[in-house]
Amino acid sequence: MDVHHLVEMANQIGQFYVAEPDQTQAQLDTASHIRRFWDPRMRAALLRHLDDHAAEGLDPFVAEALRVHRALVTPPPPSRPTASGPATKPK
Protein backbone atom coordinates (compact mmCIF):
# COMPACT_ATOMS: atom_id res chain seq x y z
CA MET A 1 0.00 0.00 0.00
CA ASP A 2 1.52 3.31 -1.10
CA VAL A 3 1.36 5.60 1.92
CA HIS A 4 2.13 8.63 -0.25
CA HIS A 5 -1.09 8.00 -2.17
CA LEU A 6 -2.98 7.69 1.12
CA VAL A 7 -1.51 11.00 2.29
CA GLU A 8 -2.57 12.63 -0.97
CA MET A 9 -6.12 11.28 -0.66
CA ALA A 10 -6.37 12.33 3.01
CA ASN A 11 -5.21 15.84 2.08
CA GLN A 12 -7.86 16.04 -0.67
CA ILE A 13 -10.55 15.07 1.86
CA GLY A 14 -9.23 17.68 4.28
CA GLN A 15 -9.27 20.36 1.57
CA PHE A 16 -12.98 19.73 1.12
CA TYR A 17 -13.90 19.90 4.81
CA VAL A 18 -11.54 22.72 5.88
CA ALA A 19 -13.90 25.19 4.19
CA GLU A 20 -16.51 24.58 6.90
CA PRO A 21 -16.82 27.57 9.24
CA ASP A 22 -16.72 25.37 12.36
CA GLN A 23 -13.20 23.90 12.35
CA THR A 24 -14.01 21.46 15.15
CA GLN A 25 -16.82 20.02 13.05
CA ALA A 26 -14.60 20.11 9.97
CA GLN A 27 -11.99 17.94 11.71
CA LEU A 28 -14.68 15.51 12.87
CA ASP A 29 -16.11 15.35 9.35
CA THR A 30 -12.66 14.66 7.89
CA ALA A 31 -12.02 11.80 10.31
CA SER A 32 -15.55 10.46 9.85
CA HIS A 33 -15.17 10.41 6.08
CA ILE A 34 -11.93 8.42 6.36
CA ARG A 35 -13.61 6.06 8.84
CA ARG A 36 -16.62 5.44 6.61
CA PHE A 37 -14.96 5.09 3.23
CA TRP A 38 -11.47 3.72 3.84
CA ASP A 39 -10.56 0.09 4.32
CA PRO A 40 -9.21 -0.64 7.83
CA ARG A 41 -5.79 -1.45 6.34
CA MET A 42 -5.66 1.97 4.69
CA ARG A 43 -6.56 3.69 7.97
CA ALA A 44 -3.95 1.69 9.87
CA ALA A 45 -1.25 2.59 7.32
CA LEU A 46 -2.14 6.29 7.53
CA LEU A 47 -2.01 6.25 11.34
CA ARG A 48 1.37 4.45 11.25
CA HIS A 49 2.63 7.16 8.92
CA LEU A 50 1.31 9.83 11.29
CA ASP A 51 3.21 8.21 14.17
CA ASP A 52 6.39 7.02 12.47
CA HIS A 53 7.03 9.90 10.07
CA ALA A 54 5.78 12.92 12.04
CA ALA A 55 2.83 13.36 9.65
CA GLU A 56 5.22 14.05 6.76
CA GLY A 57 3.28 15.32 3.77
CA LEU A 58 -0.02 15.58 5.63
CA ASP A 59 -1.72 18.94 5.67
CA PRO A 60 -1.59 20.28 9.27
CA PHE A 61 -5.41 20.37 9.35
CA VAL A 62 -5.61 16.68 8.39
CA ALA A 63 -2.87 15.66 10.81
CA GLU A 64 -4.68 17.42 13.66
CA ALA A 65 -8.01 15.85 12.65
CA LEU A 66 -6.37 12.41 12.82
CA ARG A 67 -4.77 13.14 16.20
CA VAL A 68 -7.93 14.55 17.77
CA HIS A 69 -10.20 11.83 16.38
CA ARG A 70 -7.75 8.93 16.40
CA ALA A 71 -10.17 6.61 18.20
CA LEU A 72 -12.72 7.16 15.45
CA VAL A 73 -10.23 6.36 12.67
CA THR A 74 -8.45 3.44 14.38
CA PRO A 75 -9.55 0.13 12.85
CA PRO A 76 -10.99 -2.49 15.19
CA PRO A 77 -8.71 -5.38 16.11
CA PRO A 78 -9.11 -8.46 13.94
CA SER A 79 -11.78 -10.79 15.20
CA ARG A 80 -10.59 -14.08 16.62
CA PRO A 81 -12.41 -17.37 16.22
CA THR A 82 -13.82 -18.80 19.41
CA ALA A 83 -12.37 -21.92 21.00
CA SER A 84 -15.35 -23.93 19.78
CA GLY A 85 -14.80 -22.80 16.19
CA PRO A 86 -16.92 -20.64 13.96
CA ALA A 87 -20.60 -20.30 14.67
CA THR A 88 -22.94 -22.39 12.56
CA LYS A 89 -26.46 -21.62 11.47
CA PRO A 90 -29.20 -23.60 13.19
CA LYS A 91 -31.02 -25.98 10.87
In percent, how much of the chain has pLDDT > 90?
Answer: 81
Does 85 score more than 60 pLDDT?
Answer: no
Domain extents for the chain? 3-73
Angle at 49 between CA 1 and CA 78, to 5 degrees: 65
Which pTM value belongs to this model?
A: 0.83
pLDDT in tens, 45-81: 999 999 999 999 999 999 999 999 999 999 998 877 6
Q: Which of 4, 83, 89, 90 is nearest to 46 (CA)?
A: 4
Q: Is the pLDDT of residue 31 over 80?
A: yes
